[in-house]
Structure 1
Amino acid sequence: MALDFIGGCLGGSAGVIVGHPFDTVKVRLQIQGASNAKYKGTFHCFSLIIKKESVFGLYKGMASPLAGLTFINAIVFGVQGNMLRRFEHPTIASNFIAGAVAGGLQCIICCPMELAKTRMQIQGQGESRRYFQSTQHDYKGSIDCIKKIYHQEGIKGCYRGMVPTLLREIPSFGVYFAAYEFFCSNFEKRSTTEHLGLVQLLLAGGFSGMCSWMSTYPVDVIKSRLQADGMHHINKYNGIIDCIVKSYKEPGSGGIKVFFRGLNSTLLRAFPVNAATFTVVTLFLRYARPKSSQPSGESLLL
């Protein structure tokens, strides 16, 4: 489990550095109002952030996911790897089960971390003024954000959006690891070498991440809106159902389209992030474990 922990941390760090700019764009697009949209699309959002806030604007809130990275990846790769070893012959189904359990457990760290990230990514922007009627930068950093939320709303406030987080993470991590098993198995059948090559690992990890996000994206939109809600003690939504109904009926939202806002930037982010994450983890475990203890099958290295 120690190697799973270290490999997860290394892979997760690579993923955060590669993907955080895309995540900032995703959140900005998800929570902006349809009637006074500031961003016309993914690439317009990228260019406007860089123009107005410099390239560092794309990395707002990154301290929060980096701070929680050790714990999250310890849980995800540790639990997933150890559960998978309990199956005599791991399959796509067993990878889904192991991944789903790991995804649910890591929500304990993931939820407050993403709450801080979301608040940091939107504060002081046009969309935050629409929601919160303020241009003041309330948070000096991710840790300061969590502290202030705790003092204002208690532990319950730190877990705002926990239910949609669970509804997103449990199936998405199941799909994540199951898809990686599927792609690795198919690549392995066509491979003439003992291990999959770098390009094959990158493709397997990238496509797995895209599959994972597509399976639960609408839930992520709801999670982002609920976590953005409540700043300055102004609550727009009374819960998940109310958020779904109001988002759907919002003037100019396009109905069901509102739940897929920011999907382009998310998929653009998902491929390189998860290609980096899975490749780093797999290569680390491949070379860190003694050859005599390595299981057969590329995905079993996880």
Structure 2
Amino acid sequence: MSAANKQQTKGKGVTDLIAGGTAGLFEALCCHPLDTVKVRMQLYKKSGQKPPGFVKTGINIVKNEAFFSLYKGLGAVVIGIVPKMALRFTSYEFYRSLLYAPDGSITTSNTFIAGVGAGITEAVMVVNPMEVVKIRLQAQHHSMADPLDRPKYRNAPHAAYVIVKEEGFKTLYRGVSLTAARQATNQGVNFTVYSKIREYLQQRQQTETLPSWETSLIGLVSGALGPLSNAPLDTIKTRLQKTSYASNESGMVRIVKIGSQLIKEEGVHALYKGITPRIMRVAPGQAVTFTVYEFMKRVLNGETNVPVPGVAKKKID
């Protein structure tokens, strides 16, 4: 990145905040059903039968609990994902700005460090409490088509209230170390791969603005690599956050116990439960996120047209 480009990144905090939040909203609306399937696969207990795969798990949810059960926990995600994505991009750009070389360039390792910092920041500030609530909602096997089948947790705010009331506020931070480790590796890989491929294409094509299909493709590739590096962390985290009983054991002891029990009872491959829907969830999610984020930044900076059906395109001044 040139010194001129470095200078342009300064004072863009509000833009990153709004663009990141908007990107997060679109990502949640498009990809949440895949996340519900992933959680159900990770929570499946070995019962002597072959675990249902990705497609069958989704079909079973729709068949037994109605189609909109795939959107269980969406409220928690929407409430959390806007500040999460806003924090992700704002903190990433902030950490990145601290790591520029005097000539305005930034190394691959420093890009990775900025991504790790962004992942840890979002995990502690937003992601962990949001995921505890989301997983509790997604783990409920009740039919949304039957009005008499009343779940324990009615919606995200109610779930958060019940969890805090019955188990204490600290329950919202159960598994935070795993969440932070997962988000750190995710965003370290994600931002590094995305930024480096993007820089390569910008130099190759001699342009600062890449077409949306290229941005989506880069996001798809970068988004697929993170889950492969930390699937065991995510599976153990899901099991840990799903439990509702109190424990005096330290977080690390419970993490080791859950991991050991999972391997003993179901094998090492169980640590990778839900990896298919997770990649199918995260990869297109990042494609959507980066595409919307780049588009919104251009809109907010007055660099692109806003498409309005039936109205001639007009550039923002």
Tell me the TM-score normalised to structure 1 length.
0.86
Aligned to 1:101: 117
Q: Which amino acid aligns with 2:64?
A: K
The answer on whether the counterparts of 1:92 and 1:181 sit within 8 Å (CA) in structure 2 is no
Aligned to 1:215: 229
Aligned to 1:130: none
Compared with structure 1, are the counterparts of its residues 191 and 143 closer, same or farther at alpha carbon in structure 2 (3 Å cutoff)? same
Q: Which amino acid aligns with 1:11?
A: A
Aligned to 1:31: 43
Task: Pick 1 or 2: higher relative contact order, CA cutoff 8 A, min separation 6.
Answer: 1
Q: Matches of residues 50-69 of structure 1 in structure 2 within 5 Å? A: 50-69=62-81
Bigger Cα displacement from structure 2, 184-193 vs 90-99: 184-193
**1:133-171 deviation per Cα after TM superposition (whole angstroms, max 9, x unaligned):** xx9721111111111111112121121111211121112
**1:233-273 deviation per Cα after TM superposition (whole angstroms, max 9, x unaligned):** 699996100011000011xx2x1100111111111122221
Q: Which amino acid aligns with 2:256?
A: I
The answer on whether the counterparts of 2:65 and 2:141 sit within 8 Å (CA) in structure 1 is no
Aligned to 2:97: 85
Identity over aligned pairs, percent = 31
Find the residue that maps to 1:275 and give its secondary structure: helix
What are structure 2's unaligned runs of at least 5 residues? 1-12, 143-148, 304-317
Does 2:137 align with 1:120?
yes
The answer on whether the counterparts of 1:123 and 1:136 sit within 8 Å (CA) in structure 2 is no
Aligned to 2:258: 243
**1:195-216 deviation per Cα after TM superposition (whole angstroms, max 9, x unaligned):** 2111110001111111121121
The answer on whether the counterparts of 1:229 and 1:235 sit within 8 Å (CA) in structure 2 is no
**1:75-109 deviation per Cα after TM superposition (whole angstroms, max 9, x unaligned):** 11111112223312133222211111111111221
Q: CA deviation at 1:120?
A: 0.2
Q: Matches of residues 166-245 of structure 1 in structure 2 within 5 Å? A: 166-191=180-205, 193-230=207-244, 239-245=254-260
**RMSD over aligned Cα atoms:** 2.4
Bigger Cα displacement from structure 2, 63-72 vs 191-200: 191-200
Aligned to 1:154: 168
In the alignment of these two chains, the number of paired residues is 279
Q: CA deviation at 1:286?
A: 2.6
Find the residue that maps to 1:124 and give its secondary structure: coil
Question: Which of 144, 160, 163 is equivalent to 2:177?
Answer: 163
Cα distance in 1 between the residues matched to 2:82 and 2:49:
36
Q: CA deviation at 1:194?
A: 4.5
What are structure 1's unaligned runs of at least 5 residues? 126-134, 292-302
Q: Which amino acid aligns with 1:157?
A: T
Question: Which of 3, 21, 31 is equivalent to 1:9?
Answer: 21
Cα distance in 2 between the residues matched to 1:69 and 1:204:
21
Tell me the TM-score normalised to structure 2 length.
0.82
Aligned to 1:264: 276
Runs of 4+ in 1 over 4 A off after TM superposition: 36-39, 233-238
